Amino acid sequence: MFKKILIANRGEIALRILRAAKEQGVKTVIAYSQVDENSLPVLLADESICIGPAPAIGSYLNVRNILSAALVSGAEAIHPGYGFLAENAEFAEKCEEHNLVFIGPTAESIRLIGDKASARTLAQESNVPTVPGSGALNSAEQALEFANKIGYPVILKASAGGGGRGMRVVQSSADLERQLVNAQEEARAAFGNPEMYLEKYIEEPRHVEIQVFGDGKGKVIHFFDRDCSIQRRYQKVLEEAPSTLDNELRVQIAEAAVRLAEHINYRGAGTCEFLVDREGGFYFSEMNTRIQVEHPVTEMVTRFDLVQEQLRVAAGEGLSLSQEDVRVEGHAIEVRINAEDPDNDFRPAAGTITDVHWPGGPGIRVDSHVYAGYRLPPNYDSLIAKIIAWAPNRDEAIARMQRALEETVLDGIKTTIPFHLKVLDNAFYKRGAVYTNFIARRMQQ
């Protein structure tokens, strides 16, 4: 096992990694921006090094400064968390060039599966179903020709992207060229790459993902499924494990995810995302080559620490368990608490948190980096906490989450807690009728 690692991230995921490392006797170094000087990860780390100013381009995306911090501190490895440089193949390569272990997959895997068009080809080679779609688009004429061939509606996606950026649903040929130009500009701004591809749009699908883990030597196992269908503008807001799919379909999707990960000799934690239609057909969407925001629901139902497993695999210890050891017990729900005003089109609501009271009791977990008196910087993502509720079944998990949210106090800022309570009280949600358009169709704003 490593003696010391550098955590190249911030917020709740930095704190999550720090805790996992400390429990394994690993010293931690936090790389932080100037505006995060008083954040909880910085206060709790064994060491901390400022890597630049508030804008991410000068700090959390500053490869040279992060590598320098790791080398100066004597860290043996870098954990990128999620976001920022977590899926950056060049960063993974630079780590290896400087004799630092990148806690994640190889740069080659990131390139192969991180490019959405390439990922489709790999999925097809692995006998994993994919939505009918194109390769990289070279022109509007090519997009029109392919869309006419597979039929509308279609969805444009950024080859280098994720998180909903660069995505556009197109209903007719009359609108395709304009939407393509808009999507390309958004992709260029977000990822530095305007390349797009096109897929048949599956209407009212479920978004189901499989947590996989590989040792980089040919062995891959899965930790079953999560349902992430509750989304707003392609961003997940509530997740649960397991999904409400029947077990036979769940196993088929999990086996498909493992085949794909085995095909690229995957190392570390990864997530294969699928769309599931009303008839039970499932289609590979993309693979995320990192730990996910929603990993706690999987940890709660499998009783296994995924971040500690990341450290073990990266340190060369291999997987600590086999597929037969992974079992699902009960049901878990996670809600993402964002500093946003749900009554004002979810506008970011940065400010100072004047008082905090987190929920407790059986089956409740809180992952958060904020505390009373903490000032939320406006420079980054608005996620301030994740509350996870576990119970023996889904109905009890919903009731437990409602209770937990009702006793949560976050004074001084607006949060999305009232919105989550509305979701949990929704009759369609309660009976498991959840699709990616749930908020638009079933929620009264």
Average pLDDT over residues 307-335: 97
pLDDT tens string 398-410: 999 999 999 999 9
pLDDT tier for residue 444 given thresholds of 50, 70 and 90: low
Determine the 3-state secondary structure of 77 from DSSP.
Answer: strand
Residue of 10, 165, 250, 290 with catalytic role = 290
For residue 221, the cross-strand partners are: 213
Place of tokens 């008196």: 373
Closest CA to 397 of 250, 231, 247, 240: 240
The domain defined by 132-200 carries CATH number 3.30.1490.20 = yes
CA dihedral of 308, 310, 316, 321, whole degrees rounded to 10: 70
The question of whether 232 is a catalytic residue gets the answer: no
Pair of tokens at residue 159: 């080859």
Q: How far is CA 246 from the centre of its chain?
A: 24
Cα–Cα distance between 33 and 345 in angstroms, integer? 29
Place of tokens 């901390």: 48
Residue 167 vs residue 32, higher pLDDT? 32
- Predicted pLDDT of residue 117: 76
pLDDT tens string 8-59: 999 999 999 999 999 999 999 999 999 999 999 999 999 999 999 999 999 9
Cβ neighbours around 254 below 10 Å, total: 23
For residue 209, the cross-strand partners are: 226, 273
Closest CA to 162 of 275, 286, 11, 336: 286
The chain-wide mean pLDDT, for the chain, equals 95
- Packing angle, helices 173-191 and 140-150, rounded to 10: 120
Which run of H or E residues covers position 277? none
Do β-strands 101-102 and 77-79 pair in parallel, antiparallel, or remain unpaired? Answer: parallel
Cα–Cα distance between 363 and 331 in angstroms, integer? 10
Average pLDDT over residues 139-162: 90
CATH fold of the domain at 4-89: Rossmann fold (3.40.50)
pLDDT tens string 223-238: 999 999 999 988 899 9
Percent of the chain with pLDDT over 90: 89
Determine the 3-state secondary structure of 398 from DSSP.
Answer: helix
Percent of the chain with pLDDT over 70: 99
pLDDT tier for residue 163 given thresholds of 50, 70 and 90: low
pLDDT tens string 185-243: 999 888 889 999 998 898 889 999 999 999 999 999 999 999 999 999 888 999 999 99
Name residue 53's amino acid.
Answer: P
Is the N-terminal amide bond of 153 cis, ω within 30° of 0?
yes
Class for domain 206-442, per CATH? alpha beta
Cα–Cα distance between 2 and 107 in angstroms, integer? 21
Residue 116 has pLDDT above 80, yes or no: no
Average pLDDT over residues 93-118: 94
Q: Which stretches within 151-229 are classed as H helix?
A: 173-191
Give residue limits of the domains in the chain. 4-89, 132-200, 206-442
How close are the terminal C-alpha atoms of the chain, in Å? 50
Residue 2 has pLDDT above 90, yes or no: yes
Average pLDDT over residues 149-155: 92
In order of 56, 142, 208, 438, the CA distances from 245 in angstroms are 39, 37, 9, 17
pLDDT tier for residue 253 given thresholds of 50, 70 and 90: very high
Residues with Cβ within 8 Å of 17's Cβ and at least 6 positions away in sequence, in order, are 7, 9, 28, 79, 81, 307
